[in-house]
Structure 1
């Protein structure tokens, strides 16, 4: 085959598959997943990352998972062998196609097994909407990519370092996938297939350059060093380091926003209850203002004051926490005679929203949400005693990963703790209702920039928001955010969206796991809001 014909065939294959995937997604109305389509022909290991995320979300038995895994490995191996064959440098001897198939099926099997734990972390990010899970799944992909790309073209390429050229092409492919996923969202649906096909064609050019860089690398540094096993160990250590860095400080009171340590201004008509997030701790000290209390995840003492608690207390179910909050709201309301304002962060937001859903007659008349967990429950896995259920293998992968990465942590979280199971079992509410208006309650959301990476685009936010360039759970301590909070409590109408928030959300969409259709899961079906399986109309019905 002539070089020009080989190039055209290469570009045709790498463009046709993203085109086909995005057309299917548009046909069934599955628009939240269309940002994934360009990855189907991406360079190793991003293509396996694409496959494994679909598999981990959409299987409901061990047989379906096992057969799906073997099928995807075989298809990926044959496809990669074909792409490598077409991308091979013209004047360099090329191995027989059969040898390329065998080699690439082996690399596909190795890549799938290696990528599975990180793809499971991507699913965990869909369950909890925490960006650090997403980063913990992506950083290993960046580390592994140049090494896996070399392995698909030759033997014994698990030794030595890849060339700087190959590393550069690998990073460029990551950028192309990210930009392609964002453009798929930004363009109207009529142009989406064209964007997906164009991104796929760019993948083909990057395959050509990556294969060329791997085949023609003249000098291999550290030729005798088994670099690939070392990089694999480093990649597996990323989730461990992420868990360590995400641990709360070891102190008696981990949640003291500025408002806790100063009297409320006279123009604030509310009594205030502060709700801390997951793994917080409280030593029982009172707030500076008698009309303010910190919510206790252990409840009230005999005098009606919030009990001190340790981080383990925050692992309880949202229903039980909301019952404790209801008792504390009533107690503060009786004691002060004022309506209640709830100021909540992260898990505390979910507790407050659960309370307001369950108690529409609550004295709480204002809610300020800091770093809320938005669009949670987009995936599912059953409890450990279940033998079937969507995401069955995913749950066990996460249990193993959490067990390894939380060794030595005090009060470690688990994928099956009551708080997380609350999100999984009640996903129709938490996925669609967190950023919605609440009757007779003034609501505002303070969203950190990382929230843009934590949930896919598509939701029209119908409440006032303040978008702040910072990380999760870092908003409430900022002076400007505290000033806006006081203004909100005093009755001001505040709305401060930022221009970069939407584009960042679209760029991050390529790296999310696909959402599990709400009506597919029998656990969700009884409480699912009306509408087709993937419609955006389910938000704030």
Structure 2
């Protein structure tokens, strides 16, 4: 059959079907004034499985009972199956006989349901990321989607899609789709509000081109290993690989032996402060004191009768932020009485949240300086109720408990979504989402931010205090020599402020792969507060 140039161009119907839904979602979000999730709009008509990943993240955040989740799941599968069937039909190669419309609808409904099952654990992990704002969880939720995408993209096109290796072309189009969605999300948060619907529509047009190329690659190209069930094997391997998360998460959280220069070197004489150093989540301390008597380690286990910090275990860091802040207040008083000096606080990751909780809820006393290393950016963006209760994200909570139960089989210390530390962040989400990197009257505050943490930060404002940004991993900032030199400068009264231009670039590139935040005012537990909602406005440190 002779194919003309016109046959090779996507038809108007395909372009409209791919562009209009993305524009509609963007228009609704813009009309509601809901800023943070706008980068997700281009994914409405993305190629499998990015489209289902978009749907499931919305559903896991925005359901408030098992019934609404089940109803939402049926609607999501039905709409996704019909939309994908239409896109597949319109993208079909003209020289090949197209399956019947009935077969395409039936097959794409099946694929929509299957994709939900396969993607659900990773979407749940992304919601866990939005609760605690750790970049590791964001990467752990996105990378598996990238790996399984080429295998699922044949599912709605050919009958025995689970057999054989995907072609190089499918791998390439899958990766290009990911890059397009990433760039589209970054552009959406970089242009004026009036232009975002246009950008979403343009991204939809590119989706149409990718649907055409993906369907052609799946329908026309023969596969290798045609009798081997490669897709199920790849999917199972991807899921089983999750057991590698605990040790990597420990590295990301700065666990194990943690002795930054502040505790291994004497402070210069020009530093007028006594310093308390706070480690992060699942750190541990054997009780070895810092070299300089003006420096003390914070203990998550409290102090002995003489006021000395006690050694602590990794599980001691699981306590609530309020209880840790109370322990910090006691240790501040003890250090001040012993040294007679004003106190500076230096906390990494969870330690930074403990400091911020203390500064907000308890008398500051002799504290004059707060240095926050790898602080969590906008945590508390998701919610799930305690076991046995209904509420926003109820199904998500149980899915996270199931995932934690599996992972705990490979951990020395059990962790889960209901431990006091995580629960305290979720319950106090209005404060932690809005106030962590805000000025504190009477206290000099600075944030030392790792570049990888830029992916944690949703689009919009993230700090109103001086920042020193470095190319580092989360939890690996306070141990760096260059950062130590800046810490000494700051403690000596000098101005330290070094934002990196690339930080905001990374922040915008990560925007498309974050789950939509739960709006503060829809959750009765949060709506009674007086905090502004940066998820809506894109601005922090504001009252409602």
Pairwise CA distance, 1:313: 0.3
Match of 2:180 in 1: 176
Match of 1:363 in 2: 366
Task: Kindly indicate whether residue 18 of structure 2 is the aligned counterpart of residue 14 of structure 1.
Answer: yes
Q: How well do the aligned residues superpose, as a CA RMSD in angstroms?
A: 1.7
Match of 1:96 in 2: 100
Match of 2:284 in 1: 281
Task: Kindly indicate whether residue 303 of structure 2 is the aligned counterpart of residue 268 of structure 1.
Answer: no
Pairwise CA distance, 1:252: 10
Pairwise CA distance, 1:6: 6.0
Counterpart-to-counterpart distance in 1, 2:416 and 2:196: 39
Secondary structure of 2:346's aligned partner? strand
1:336-390 superposed Cα distances (whole Å, 9 cap, x missing partner): 111110000000011111111112442111011110011000110111121x100
Q: 1:49 to 1:349 in 2, by over 3 A?
A: same
Pairwise CA distance, 1:143: 1.1
Secondary structure of 2:445's aligned partner? strand
1:25-72 superposed Cα distances (whole Å, 9 cap, x missing partner): 010000111000000000000000000000000000000000100110
CA contact (8 A) 1:140 1:238 kept: no
Between 1:126-135 and 1:3-12, the stretch displaced more is 3-12
Pairwise CA distance, 1:533: 7.8
CA contact (8 A) 2:256 2:283 kept: yes
Counterpart-to-counterpart distance in 2, 1:538 and 1:145: 36
Match runs of 1:79-478 below 5 Å = 79-218=83-222, 220-247=223-250, 254-386=257-389, 388-459=390-461, 461-478=463-480
Residue 53 of structure 1, aligned match among 45, 57, 66? 57
Residue 528 of structure 2, aligned match among 526, 531, 535? 526
CA contact (8 A) 1:436 1:540 kept: no
Q: TM-score if structure 1 supplies the norm length? A: 0.97
CA contact (8 A) 1:529 1:538 kept: no
Counterpart-to-counterpart distance in 1, 2:498 and 2:218: 49
Secondary structure of 2:148's aligned partner? helix
Counterpart-to-counterpart distance in 2, 1:239 and 1:18: 32
1:2-26 superposed Cα distances (whole Å, 9 cap, x missing partner): 8489621111111111111001101
1:131-189 superposed Cα distances (whole Å, 9 cap, x missing partner): 11111111111111111110110111101101001110000000000000000111111
The number of residues matched between the two structures is 538
1:504-528 superposed Cα distances (whole Å, 9 cap, x missing partner): 1011000000010001101111224
Counterpart-to-counterpart distance in 2, 1:312 and 1:419: 11
Q: 1:205 to 1:344 in 2, by over 3 A?
A: same
CA contact (8 A) 1:137 1:239 kept: no
Secondary structure of 2:194's aligned partner? coil
CA contact (8 A) 1:248 1:254 kept: no
Secondary structure of 1:500's aligned partner? helix
Q: TM-score if structure 2 supplies the norm length? A: 0.96
Q: Which runs of 5+ in 1 are unaligned?
A: none
Match of 2:3 in 1: none
CA contact (8 A) 2:126 2:141 kept: yes
1:476-517 superposed Cα distances (whole Å, 9 cap, x missing partner): 111110000010011011100001011110110000000100
Residue 80 of structure 2, aligned match among 70, 76, 80? 76
1:284-323 superposed Cα distances (whole Å, 9 cap, x missing partner): 1111111110000010111211000110000001111111
CA contact (8 A) 1:277 1:346 kept: yes
Counterpart-to-counterpart distance in 2, 1:354 and 1:302: 25
1:445-493 superposed Cα distances (whole Å, 9 cap, x missing partner): 0000111101212115211000001110111111110000010011011
Pairwise CA distance, 1:534: 1.8
Counterpart-to-counterpart distance in 2, 1:238 and 1:210: 27
Q: Which runs of 5+ in 2 are unaligned?
A: 1-5
CA contact (8 A) 1:15 1:198 kept: yes
Q: 1:426 to 1:164 in 2, by over 3 A?
A: same
Counterpart-to-counterpart distance in 2, 1:238 and 1:38: 29
Counterpart-to-counterpart distance in 2, 1:475 and 1:469: 9
